[in-house]
A = this chain, B = another copy of it.
């Protein structure tokens, strides 16, 4: 085995043609005769030749790669990533592979100045943005990305007049479905655990759906039943404990994410509440853990597989210069044991 990697010139030499012909042959150009192509293919095989992507990309001015930027709350210690995003990551990877693109992934502190390094440096043809965080603080960066013409799509709440293309699930309907599910069982004071401000529009949409369902049923929306919480078990535990400490009466808990719900269930148990007997609970996301919780957690399924495909598809469309649109994906209420009061 010779040490140096073979180049197209080596192949040309071996096959008795010019380097240009080698390049054409291997890229499937119709200009080269089948006979020559076969000879070149054999030579390439023999020398274990692989096209040098750096050279190729430089020449072609694209990279055949997408970048996935995963933002994290600086609060999380980092060893365990939000499982919902991991699930998205899996489906995005798969969608990329299917389209013949490589995927570069990078974890970003939400605070750092990331802008569009990957795209600017031509390491990636486009960017996928994923992660919770303070949306309003984030907005001006999105605008900057649009201004400099970076191709990107983001996962998150889909709202009117957003910069760039966004894909997200129908958080509003999801929130509505959960609240209705509780209302149908006779619950009247449903707590909401999760931030509910425009800084966190995904949670906010879930909250708005919940509030809408209450209003439609003629029930009051009591802000005393809402407690801020980021999407971690710890925050869920704290939020639940705080609500209990407030002494406010409640007869159901809607957590804005499954992690929050699991923390809340633990806190409820610690305070002697039975789930769902005393207090039914529901979450949002349908992470794999949800169906293994004790009791199995009612939640709202986001179709991550579909989401990954849509994200990648939209991004590739932008890269090709075709029009791309923001899109809202349907959700599905998964009723499990945690939310159903025994009759």
Contact = CB atoms under 8 A, between A and B. Distances in A.
Interface of A: 1, 3, 5, 48, 50-55, 57-58, 63, 65, 78-81, 83, 86-87, 89-91, 93-94, 97, 102-107, 117, 120-123, 147-149, 262, 288-289, 292-295, 304-305
Which interface residue of A57, A78, A148 has the most chain B CB atoms within 10 A? Answer: A57
Given A292-B289, A292-B292, A305 B79 contact: yes
B106 A104 contact: no
Contact of A106 (B79, B86, B90, B97): B97
A91 B89 CA distance: 14
Kindly list the 9 A-B residue pairs having the minimum CB-CB distance in the complex, ordered from nearest: A294-B294, A50-B120, A54-B58, A54-B57, A50-B121, A53-B121, A86-B86, A53-B123, A289-B289
Copies in the complex: 2
Contacts of A86: 81, 83, 86, 89-90
Contacts of A58: 52, 54-55, 58
16 contacts: A1-B149, A5-B122, A51-B121, A53-B122, A54-B122, A65-B104, A78-B94, A79-B304, A79-B305, A86-B86, A93-B107, A97-B106, A103-B104, A104-B105, A292-B293, A292-B294
Given A52-B58, A289-B289, 20 more contacts: A48-B120, A48-B148, A51-B121, A53-B122, A54-B63, A54-B123, A55-B58, A79-B304, A80-B90, A80-B288, A81-B86, A86-B86, A86-B90, A89-B89, A94-B107, A102-B123, A104-B105, A292-B294, A293-B294, A294-B294
Nearest to A65: B104
A94 B72 CA distance: 12
Contact of A105 (B57, B83, B105): B105
Contact of A103 (B3, B55, B106): B106
Contacts of A83: 83, 86, 288
Contacts of A87: 80
Nearest to A303: B79
A149 B65 contact: no
A1 B147 contact: yes
Which interface residue of A148, A149, A289 has the most chain B CB atoms within 10 A? Answer: A289
A122 B52 CA distance: 6
A30 to B, nearest CB: 24
Contacts of A107: 90, 93-94, 97
A54 B52 CA distance: 10
A93 B120 contact: no
A121 B55 CA distance: 10
A2 to B, nearest CB: 10
Contacts of A48: 120, 148
Nearest to A79: B305
A103 B93 CA distance: 13
B102 A292 contact: no
